[in-house]
Amino acid sequence: MDKYQLLKQYFGYDSFREGQEYLIDSILEGRDVLGIMPTGAGKSICYQLPALLMREAGAEDSGEMSEDAPCGHGADEKPGKMRKGAVTLVISPLISLMKDQVEGLNQAGIHAAYLNSSLTPGQYRKALFLAKEGRYPIIYVAPERLVASEFLDFAQNANIAMVAVDEAHCVSQWGQDFRPGYLKIINFIDTLPVRPVVAAFTATATKEVKEDIIDLLALQNPAMITTGFDRKNLYFGVQSVKDRYGAVKNYLECHPGDAGIIYCLTRKNVEEVCERLAGEGFPVTRYHAGLSDEERKGNQEDFIYDKKPVMVATNAFGMGIDKSNVRFVLHFGMPKNLESYYQEAGRAGRDGQPAECILLYSGKDVTTNQFFIENNQDNQELDAGLRQLVMERDRERLRKMTFYCFTNECLRDYILRYFGEYRENYCGNCSNCLSQFENTDVTEIAKSLVGCVESCRQRYGINVILDTVHGANTAKIRSYRMDENPFYGGCAKVPSPRLRQVLNHLLIHHYLAMTDDEYAVVKLTEKSEDILRGGEAVVMKLAKEQPHPAKGESRKSGRKKISYGASGTGSGSGELSPAQEALFERLRTLRTEIARGEKVPPYIIFSDRTLVHMCMLKPGTKAEMLKVSGVGEYKYEKYGERFLDCIRKSGSVEA
C-alpha cells in the first residue's frame, strides 16, 4: 500500500495537511526530521504513517507479511528503509497522552502499546514480551524507561527503524516543560546497533528551543518544517463584563452539550463557579491542585469521557489532555501572560473544527496576577539579582497580556506578533475583527492623563493617575495630596473603564511608559511632548455601543459554522442546517453510547469533525460512508453500520 492508501484505510483521510507529506517523505528517505506545527495540525500522523510503511516495506522485502517476523538486521542496512519487523518508538512525556494515542491507534486497527509507570509489573512484562515478539509496529515509551535494563535488552534486539520524539521541546531548559529524561534520549539512540531515523515534533517555535532540539537530540541534517503558530479554527474574543458569572452561564445555555473548559485564576474561584453552575443543573466538574489525587483523576475522566463535558479548573489542568472535541475555552479571569493564555486557549478545537476562546476580563485580574508574581515560590531559590530580573520579565509579560484585553486591533494578530510572527492585521475571526468600531477623538482625555503624570513628577502608578483625573475622593488620593493636582477631577464625567482604555492606549503607543520595578510607576516618554505641547490629536478605535444580546442568543459558532477541506479552512464552508444540527445531536449521542460500552473517550471513536462531515454527506451506503473524512476501513467495520442506521432512521423521521 502507498501512503495515500494507508492514510485512507487506517485514518480515513483523503489528503495530507500542510507539512505532513514532506515530513513523511523525508522520514521514508531515511532522513531525520523536525516538525514544528501548532496543536491540532496533525503531527501524530507524520510519524505513525511512516512507521506503518516502514513495517510493510520490511515485511514485503522479506517475502512475508507476518507481524511476528523475527527481527534480524545487519549493521550495514540503511535505517528506515526496507527493514523487517520495523518498530517505531515514540517518546512521549505524559502518560495520559500515550494512553490516548494508543487507544486511537487501536481503534483504527493498528497494533500499538505503551510502556510507562502506569502499568503494573505484570502488565509491563506482558507488553514487553509482545513487543519482543514483534507484535507492535508502534510503541510509546516514557523517557525514564530508556535507561531501564529490561527495556534496553528489548531495544538491543529489536529492529528499531525510527525514534519519534513527541513534545520535543521538553529537551530544552528554555521552556516551562523541561524533562530531564529527554536528555537521555541521545544516549539511548547511541546504544542501538543501527542508528534509527530520529523524528522530532513540537508546537513550540522559539529559536532557542529549536536549536536545543537539534543539538540535544543530535539531529543529522534534519528536514525541517514550521507551519506557523496560527490556529485558524479558533475564534478569539475578549469581553469586559461586570457580571462574569452571568456571561459564563449565558454561554453554557447557548452551547448545550458542547465540551469546554472554564479556567479560573484561583482555587476558590473554581469552587465557587463550579458549585453555582452545578446548582443550576449544568454538567460541570472541577480540577485544581488542592483536590485529592482521587478526585482529580475521577473528574478528569468524567470530562474526557463527556460524562461531565464542562470542566472548571485552574491552570493546573490541561497538560496532557488530548481531548479533541473541546469546543470552547472560557477564561474567567486573565492569565499572567500570553504564553499561558495561548496554551490554555489552545486546548480548544484540536480536531480542527471551529472552537471559541473567550477571555472575560476584569481590572481586578491585574492585581491578582501581580500578587502571584511578587509571591512566586519558584523564584525563592534564585539569588536576589536574578529574582529581580525574572520578576521584571514577568511584569512585562503581564502588561502585554493586559494590553491584549484592551487592544482594538485583531486579537489573533496581537498574539502572533507576540510570538514573532507577522501577518495581516485582519483575521475576520476574532471579536475585534468582527466588531464595528468608530474613530473617537480622545485628545482631551489624553492631555489630562499625560498632564497629570507630568505634574505629579512621575511618581505614581496607574491607579493613582486614573483616580486623580476621575476626581476620586479617597484617603489615598488625599494623603498623596493629589486632590490638589491641577488635573484632579479633569475627567470626572468620563466613565472609569473608558479612562483606563485611553491610558492603556497611551501605554501601548508609547505616549507613556511604566517602570519595570514593583512600583510600576507611570513615566513620560519622548512622545509625551507631542500630546502636551505638540498639539497631536489622539484618535482611538472604540467599539460602537451594541445592544446587549438577548438571552439565548449569541454569536453563531461552534460546529454550526463548519469548514471543510484538507487544511481546515478550505472549500466547502457552510453552516449546518437545523435538520443537520439535529442529526449531529443524534450521532453524538450514539457516539457517547458506543464509547461507554468500549470504555474509551468518545472522540476516539470519531472526531466531531467526522460527525459533522457525516451530517453534510448523509451517507446511505458503505461506499458513501467511506467517503466521510475520518472513516477508515477498520472503523467502518466496527461502527459504520450503526452510524449508517442512525442516519437512515433520521432520514425517515424527516421525510
Sole window of 34-42, 245-253, 262-270, 305-313 interacting with ligand ADP (rule: CB under 6 A): 34-42
Buried b (16+ CB within 10 A) or exposed e, 374-391: eeeeebeeeeeeeeeeeb
Element (H, E) at 361: strand 355-361
- The DSSP line for 573-615 is -EE--HHHHHHHHHHHHHHHHHHHHHTS-HHHHS-HHHHHHHH
Q: Which of 37, 53, 512, 576 binds ligand ADP (CB under 6 A)?
A: 37
- Size of residue set near ligand ADP by CB under 6 A: 19
Cell numbers linked to 146: 530508556
The whole-angstrom separation of Cα 373 and Cα 356 is 28
Residues 530-589 that bind ligand ADP (CB under 6 A): 566
- Determine, following the binding rule CB under 6 A, whether residue 159 of this chain makes contact with ligand ADP: no
The dihedral formed by the CA atoms of 217, 342, 98 and 591, expressed in degrees to the nearest 10: -150
Residue 471: count other Cβ atoms within 10 Å of its Cβ: 16
> Which CB, 351 or 394, lies closer to ligand ADP?
351
| Pattern 12-41, Zn ion, x by CB under 5 A | ------------------------------
Pair 395, 520: CB distance under 8 Å: yes
> Which CB, 327 or 412, lies closer to Zn ion?
412
Kindly provide the residue ranges of all beta strands, DSSP E only, lying in 431-492, ordered along the sequence. Answer: 437-441
Residue 311, strand partner residues: 261, 285
The whole-angstrom separation of Cα 479 and Cα 481 is 5
Mapped onto helix, strand or coil, the DSSP state of residue 88 is strand
> Which CB, 108 or 198, lies closer to ligand ADP?
108
Whole-number minimum distance, CB 609 to ligand ADP, in Å? 7
| 42, interface contact from ligand ADP, Zn ion, none, CB < 5-8 Å by kind | ligand ADP
Cell numbers linked to 605: 471513536
Residue 199, strand partner residues: 33, 164
The letter for the amino acid at 538 is V
- Determine, following the binding rule CB under 5 A, whether residue 427 of this chain makes contact with Zn ion: yes
Whole-number minimum distance, CB 46 to ligand ADP, in Å? 8
Q: Which of 185, 348, 410, 450 binds Zn ion (CB under 5 A)?
A: 410
425: exposed, middle or buried (C-beta count within 10 Å: 0-12, 13-18, 19+)?
A: middle
- Determine, following the binding rule CB under 6 A, whether residue 45 of this chain makes contact with ligand ADP: yes
The whole-angstrom separation of Cα 313 and Cα 262 is 6
Residues 344-403 that bind ligand ADP (CB under 6 A): 350-352
Q: Which of 10, 16, 235, 404 binds ligand ADP (CB under 6 A)?
A: 16
> Which CB, 227 or 432, lies closer to ligand ADP?
227
- Determine, following the binding rule CB under 6 A, whether residue 324 of this chain makes contact with ligand ADP: yes
Sole window of 70-78, 111-119, 181-189, 428-436 interacting with Zn ion (rule: CB under 5 A): 428-436
- Determine, following the binding rule CB under 6 A, whether residue 41 of this chain makes contact with ligand ADP: yes
Whole-number minimum distance, CB 416 to Zn ion, in Å? 10
| 410, interface contact from Zn ion, ligand ADP, none, CB < 5-8 Å by kind | Zn ion
Q: Which of 8, 73, 83, 412 binds Zn ion (CB under 5 A)?
A: 412
The letter for the amino acid at 545 is E
Please provide the distance, in angstroms rounded to a whole number, between the alpha carbons at the two ends of the chain.
42
> Which CB, 406 or 606, lies closer to ligand ADP?
606
> Which CB, 33 or 462, lies closer to ligand ADP?
33
- Determine, following the binding rule CB under 5 A, whether residue 415 of this chain makes contact with Zn ion: no
Whole-number minimum distance, CB 563 to Zn ion, in Å? 16
Whole-number minimum distance, CB 24 to ligand ADP, in Å? 10
Cβ contacts of residue 312 below 8 Å, gap of 6+? 261, 262, 264, 270, 273, 274, 277, 284, 285, 286, 287
| 430, interface contact from ligand ADP, Zn ion, none, CB < 5-8 Å by kind | Zn ion
> Which CB, 237 or 309, lies closer to Zn ion?
237
Q: Which of 40, 85, 237, 602 binds ligand ADP (CB under 6 A)?
A: 40
Dihedral sign, CA of 251, 256, 261, 266?
Answer: positive
Cell numbers linked to 549: 444580546
**In 77-205, which residue ranges form alpha helices assigned H by DSSP?**
95-107, 121-132, 149-157, 185-191
Whole-number minimum distance, CB 425 to Zn ion, in Å? 8
Rg of the chain, C-alpha, whole Å: 28
- Size of residue set near Zn ion by CB under 5 A: 5
| Pattern 594-613, ligand ADP, x by CB under 6 A | -------------x------
Whole-number minimum distance, CB 431 to Zn ion, in Å? 8
Using CB under 5 A, list all residues that contact Zn ion: 410, 412, 427, 430, 433
Using CB under 6 A, list all residues that contact ligand ADP: 13, 16-17, 20, 37, 39-45, 324, 350-352, 566, 607, 629
